[in-house]
Amino acid sequence: MSVFHEVVSWLILLYGVALPVAVILGVVRLTGLKEITRFETGSGFLYRLNPITKVAFGVVVMIVASVTIWWIGATLTLAVSLLYLTMKDGLKKFGYLLALIFTSLVGSTWSVAPYVPDTILSMVFPNPSSYQVLWVWPSYFLAMGYQPELTLQALIYGVQIGFRVTAVLSSALLLILTTTTSDIFRMFTKLRVPLAITFSLLVGVKTVPKIFELLDSSVKMQFLRGLGEGKPRVLYPFLFFYAGLQGIVPTMVYLLRGAKTMAISADTRGFRAFNRRTEMKELGFGREDYVTFAVIVGLLALAIIANYLGFGRSIPYVGS
């Protein structure tokens, strides 16, 4: 085994990790992650939907993408992604979502393709003799769970699995981006979810964009203080990563202080003093909700018809 083969093997291995990270650092950045995970006031139809409708839509998209052929999941990903154009700053959110979908596809493909054995792959591509070998891994890669050879069919299989993930990702973010925390709380209350679980979930929803916001501020402060001054721009991604690591501690300190304030606030408001909350605002269903429920019923019918016609798929992803 030549040195060239060893080097290329490790470059290919790192490709699946390095490329998504490079896209996140260079295209989405912390600003994009913050904007794609937090609610902003808007007036589109998604903002008028009942949160229960959005949850039902996300669950049905997940079910349909899980039990049907890959190109239905890809079509759902495209259709749901276009809904982002109706949001506030929709074009920007749409761009961030495309970058996340791309990184998700690369990550999903690379987490599946090198590991899938021929016994599984033969369920998708029944003729193993026709497989096109793209690369032969060094023998010690097998200790990491790699198959001896990377084939074109394994990569295609990984992409097919990836489109299931992207459909769920794009539909799940709809709820977070277009629903206030208060309305999410009301929705869980309507669904009789225990208050302790609801509170924990909402703390997570509020905290995730806050983490990105604090890290973004910390990174910018370090560059303002001279980090990277006089250094070549080619080193900036590494400096950005270094600044992010340096910002973890101050971010955690700020979050812990905020958690203490939130706990005191919850106590002073009598949180969990009673089993049920008194609602000042009732969540209702409007025309947009009924239209969305019609779409949900259509998606379920699509899943049934697709399975009946032979386009149903499950893990392992049988059929091309």
Structural domain spans, the chain? 3-179+285-309, 193-269
What pLDDT score was predicted for residue 79? Answer: 93
- Give the residue among 281, 295, 293, 266 at the shortest CA–CA distance from 198: 266
The confidence score (pLDDT) of residue 14 equals: 78
pLDDT of residue 280: 63
Query: What pTM value is reported for the model?
Result: 0.74
pLDDT of residue 307: 86
pLDDT of residue 131: 87
**What is the distance between the alpha carbons of residues 4 and 70, in angstroms, rounded to a whole number?**
36
Q: Are 154 and 121 in contact (CB under 8 A)?
A: yes
> Number of C-alpha atoms within 13 angstroms, CB side, residue 64?
29
Series of mean pLDDT values for 10-residue runs along the chain (320 residues): 80 77 73 80 86 89 88 91 89 89 87 86 82 87 86 89 88 87 78 76 76 80 80 75 81 79 76 64 80 92 88 61
Q: Are 131 and 63 in contact (CB under 8 A)?
A: no
